[in-house]
């Protein structure tokens, strides 16, 4: 999906540049070829600035280095634009400077357009980073609230039943009901295992479509199964990677 977003962005930029340069002299075919020459410079500058300079220097508050390398990038991008102009002069204008699109010969306009694209891309990435951070904060807050809970409320025989989290060994899903195995008793409820998983903190691990275990109650574990007391709980291929990662953190 990320690749599609990039393709959409650069396709929109290319169309904008063709229309902008083409309206200067009415020759949109020439504008298309010129944009084709210019686009690699815009791509290289944008990705270098947004995916290297900003994360490596600006976001780490190394402002002096960021400013210095930004100046280098600006000089190098202008040099590349001059190469593009030279190619356009040879290929599109047949060595006649007057035949070039008036916009394409304006180096200040080219540089301004190039860095407008770079900063536009930076603004979009900034919004995405903000949304991602907001999502992570919300997820952390939700996880914190779950970890603060000491009980799980389940519906049993038309009544709400509070179960202490530390007493839950594992949860087993059967045909149309769920068994909650605790240290003291067996609880049967009509709730779905996925719904119970959403209510529980991260220490409760889904090992199988039919099993949810309390990480603190695990005595042994391997690649395909784990032990809670004397009970063997299977680890399916679907959940194997996630279980391994969480149990690795535990050890």
Token pair 């400077």 is found at: 97
Element (H, E) at 173: strand 168-173
- pLDDT given at position 98: 86
* pTM of the predicted model as reported, rounded to 2 decimal places: 0.59
CA dist., res. 115 & res. 154, Å (int):
58
Query: Residues with Cβ < 8 Å from 9, sequence gap 6 or more?
Result: 121, 124
> Considering only 39-48, 96-105, 203-212, which range has the smallest mean pLDDT?
96-105
Residue 171 has pLDDT above 70, yes or no: yes
Position with higher pLDDT, 141 vs 103:
103
Q: What percent of the chain has pLDDT over 70?
A: 94
Alpha-carbon gap, residue 53 to 123, rounded angstroms: 15
Confidence of residue 251 (pLDDT cuts 50, 70, 90): very low
Phi-psi region of 109 (alpha: psi -120 to 50; beta: other; left: phi over 0): alpha
Residue 234 reports pLDDT greater than 80: yes
């Amino acid at each position: 999906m990320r690749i599609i977003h990039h393709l959409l962005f650069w396709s929109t930029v290319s169309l904008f540049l063709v229309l902008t340069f083409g309206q200067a002299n009415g020759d949109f075919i020439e504008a298309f070829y010129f944009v084709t020459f210019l686009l690699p410079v815009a791509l290289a500058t944008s990705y270098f600035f947004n995916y290297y300079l900003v994360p490596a220097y600006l976001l780490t508050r190394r402002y002096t280095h960021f400013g210095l390398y930004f100046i280098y990038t600006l000089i190098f991008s202008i040099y590349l634009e001059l190469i593009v102009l030279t190619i356009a002069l040879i290929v599109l204008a047949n060595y006649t400077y007057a035949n070039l699109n008036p916009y394409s010969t304006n180096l200040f306009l080219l540089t301004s357009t190039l860095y407008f694209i770079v900063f536009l891309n930076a603004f979009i990435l900034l919004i995405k980073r903000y949304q991602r951070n907001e999502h992570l904060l919300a997820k952390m807050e939700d996880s914190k609230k779950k970890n603060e809970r000491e009980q799980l409320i389940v519906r049993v025989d038309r009544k709400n039943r509070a179960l202490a989290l530390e007493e839950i060994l594992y949860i087993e899903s059967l045909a149309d009901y769920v068994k909650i195995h605790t240290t003291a008793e067996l609880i049967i409820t009509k709730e779905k295992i996925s719904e119970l998983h959403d209510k529980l903190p991260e220490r409760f691990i889904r090992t199988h479509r039919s099993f949810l275990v309390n990480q603190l109650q695990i005595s042994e574990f391997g690649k395909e199964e784990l032990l809670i007391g004397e009970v063997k709980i299977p680890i399916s291929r679907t959940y194997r990677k996630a279980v391994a990662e969480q149990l690795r953190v535990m050890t």
